[in-house]
Amino acid sequence: MEPFYFRSFDKVVGTAHNLTELESEIRRIGEVDPNCVNWHLQQGHVVAWLNYIGEHAVAEMLKDVKNYKEALSRLREYRVVATRSSNKASKRRRR
């Protein structure tokens, strides 16, 4: 699968291959060039890529997000919920 490329004025400033890297790059790039991340969010690029890699639930969470700080907050929230669900499933399998 193609990674997500964060571009700023035709220059690649970041790349993400999965959700973990996406969150990391949004944080890193947002601190130095928030307009870059916000533009990708506003244009729907991040949501389109998430749908492309099959992360439909996360894409839906970020659908109307226009600000990188809000995107980070929602990605963290998703990670916490996913971790809890995974832990519960593990406990059920061990029983």
Token output for 35? 């307009």
Residue 86 has pLDDT above 90, yes or no: no
pLDDT tens, residue by residue, 50-81: 999 999 999 999 999 999 999 999 999 998 88
Helix (H) or strand (E) holding 7: strand 4-8
Amino acid identity for residue 64 in this structure: D
The dihedral through the CA atoms of 75, 79, 81, 86 has a sign that is: positive
Buried b (16+ CB within 10 A) or exposed e, 21-46: ebbebbbebbeebeebbbbbbeeeeb
Task: Note the pLDDT of residue 68.
Answer: 98
pLDDT tens, residue by residue, 16-58: 999 999 999 999 999 999 999 999 999 999 999 999 999 999 9
